[in-house]
A and B are shown apart, each in its own frame.
Chain A
Amino acid sequence: MSEISENINPKLYKKANDREITAEEQNEDIADEFDAREIFDIIRNINDPEHPLTLEELNVVEQSLIVVDDKENKVDIKFTPTIPHCSMVTLIGLSIRVQLLRALPARFKVSVEVSPGTHTSEAAVNKQLADKERVAAALENSMLLGVINQCLAPRN
């Protein structure tokens, strides 16, 4: 990790309110499908690798860029790097991927991509994040896994 942050003064965004839980959701007899808000809640508090801020506060993840099709077992997430040449982009994408891997049932096919037009190496980053073999190999690297776990650890 570099000591000097690339994006020294990131723009901050307002956090979303807590999710309102409906009576229907509390009813154990009704099966609740995953929706974009629920996926957003799983990833909004991931820490940025450089700043003491969450991906939500930096607007890297947004509920509107999450598409969920529960019946088709599909979750598609677009994320927006804070700057177009951000060197942390793969690490952020991996953190989102790992968090969902741990939180969602295995039936889901998760795709994590850079929002179109927001990063200079968008195609290369997307290809790498979509290659499950390279993701699996990366997660066997204990140093990298340590960094990812730090991003995923809840802050006090």
Chain B
Amino acid sequence: MSTLELKQTLTGHRGRVWSVCWHPQGVTLASCGEDKTITIWGLEGSKWVTKMILTEGHSRSIREVTWSPCGNYIASASFDATIAIWDKKSGQFDCNATLEGHENEVKSVSWSVSGQLLATCSRDKSVWVWEVNDDDYECAAAINAHTQDVKKVRWHPHEEILASASYDNTAKIFKEDVADSDWSCIATLSSHTSTVWSLTWDKTGNRIATCSDDQTVKIWREYKPGNETGIATPNNESVWKCVCTLSGYHTRTVYDIDWCKTTGLLATACGDDIIRIFKEDADCDPHQPTFTLVCSMESAHTQDVNCVQWNPVVPGQLASASDDSSVKIWFYKE
């Protein structure tokens, strides 16, 4: 019997906590929320403690916070329509750049694997790609492919390919055209019947899992040109197909999903206060995979769970954030 054991409840935020993000080395955690602050948590012995509280970077709620792949920078996305970049060059974290351009609330921010590109998205329906050059951030593209509020952006784990999720019920995939260095949408993932709140790549980058207000999770698989299964690829571009739908498990909106790069486990954050863990069945057909619900943590929080993220280094360690003002650290055991 698999269990999700609560290791610690981290309190300190006032009001809703929107997001948590692990440092790439897995020993530090950042969280952000309605109180317009970013809290950095670190381990002291076996206890998580507040290391720093970053204030005055934003004038409204901070929706998402994320570490750069090198672990030296933090990017934060805010309802104040800006993205702040924080670094530790002075010895403590300072906001040394503010990216402006979105017309209203910025909902998500993501660094590419190289750390050379940053993606942001907003209620203004656009996805922006920023080029990073020695602490200088330049907008390389403002992509208007979605027809509604864009909720999430996530880079491919190895390549400069970007995925986004939107209130228009779709997820989209973007790539730069090498010929004219123009960013364009190369695939639209349509199947959800309401807002797609979040998405996550698997460790190979061949699959994406999406979660939605329609209370389902969907697994999508990439079929490249010349694939052995004979799936047609018009325009010589990959085709993404929904190969699995997990329905009947969630009773309210699924706000976040994270695919663990070390264990392959899927975790979901749901509006019914439950954290669920799914495991792919070992012997299933890769073109029709099946997943088993291996753990359902009832009342994981006392209100909606907004975010879940697996520790990138410590297998089984999970962090969650909730409307109940708390961040929790969990350990998954089979």
Report A's interface with B, CB cutoff 8 A.
Answer: 106-107, 109, 127, 130-134, 136-137, 140
Q: Given A109-B252, A127-B195, A131-B167, do A140 and B213 touch, yes or no (CB 8 Å)? A: no
B324 at the interface (CB under 8 A from A): yes
Residue tally, chain B, CB below 8 Å to A: 25
Please tell me which one of the listed residues B60, B107, B195, B324 contacts residue A106 in the complex, with CB atoms under 8 A apart.
B324
Q: Does B202 belong to the interface (CB within 8 Å)?
A: no
A-B contact pairs, 16 of them (CB 8 A): A106-B303, A107-B303, A109-B252, A109-B271, A109-B272, A127-B194, A131-B167, A131-B213, A132-B304, A133-B107, A134-B123, A136-B34, A136-B79, A137-B104, A137-B105, A140-B60
> Closest approach, in angstroms, between the C-beta of B99 and any C-beta of chain A?
19
Q: Which residues of A contact B302 (CB under 8 A)?
A: 106-107
Q: Mark B183-202, 1 if CB is under 8 A from A, else 0.
A: 00000000000110000000
Of residues 10 to 62 in B, which have CB atoms within 8 Å of A's CB atoms? 16, 34, 60-61
Report the minimal beta-carbon distance from B2 to chain A, rounded to whole angstroms: 26
Q: A107-B302, A109-B252, A127-B194 are in contact. Are A136 and B61 (CB under 8 A)?
A: yes
Tell me whether B258 is interfacial, beta carbon within 8 Å.
Answer: no
Q: How many A-B residue pairs have CB under 8 A?
A: 37
* Whole-angstrom CA separation of A19 from B302 in the bound complex: 31
Pick from B149, B271, B323: contact of A134, CB below 8 A. B149
Q: What chain B residues lie within 8 Å of A130 (beta carbons)? A: 213, 253
Question: Could you say which residues of chain A place their CB within 8 Å of the CB of B167?
Answer: 127, 131
Beta-carbon contacts under 8 Å, B104-148 to A: 104-105, 107, 123
Q: Which of A106, A107, A140 contacts B61 (CB 8 A)?
A: A140
Write the nearest CB–CB distance from A142 to chain B, whole angstroms.
11
Shortest A132–chain B CB gap in Å is: 7
Contacts of A106 in B (CB 8 A): 302-303, 323-324
Question: Hey, which chain A residues are within 8 Å of B304, CB to CB?
Answer: 132
**Docked-complex contact B79 and A137, CB < 8 angstroms:** yes
Measured CB to CB, the nearest residue on chain A to B148 is A127
**Which single residue of chain A is at the shortest CB-CB distance from B324?**
A106
Instruction: A136 to B303: give the CA distance in the assembly, Å.
Output: 15
Residue of B nearest to A132 (CB): B304
If A127-B194, A131-B195 touch, whether A137 touches B123 (CB-CB below 8 Å) is yes
15 further A-B pairs in the complex, CB-CB below 8 A; given A127-B194, A127-B195, A136-B34: A106-B323, A106-B324, A107-B302, A109-B272, A127-B213, A130-B213, A130-B253, A131-B167, A134-B123, A136-B61, A137-B60, A137-B105, A140-B60, A140-B61, A140-B79
Q: With contacts A107-B302, A109-B252, A130-B213 known, is A137 near B195, CB below 8 A?
A: no
Residue of A nearest to B63 (CB): A133
Q: Smallest CB-CB separation from B303: which chain A residue?
A: A106
Contacts of A137 in B (CB 8 A): 60-61, 79, 104-105, 123
- Chain A residues with Cβ under 8 A from B271's Cβ? 109
**Complex-state Cα separation, A131 to B169, whole angstroms:** 13
User: Which of chain A's residues have a CB closer than 8 A to the CB of B195?
Assistant: 127, 131
Contact of B16 among A109, A127, A131, A136 (CB under 8 A): A136
Which residues on A sit within 8 Å (CB–CB) of B151? 133
| 4 A-B pairs with least C-beta separation | A137-B105, A137-B79, A140-B60, A106-B303
A137 and B77 alpha carbons, distance in the complex (Å): 13
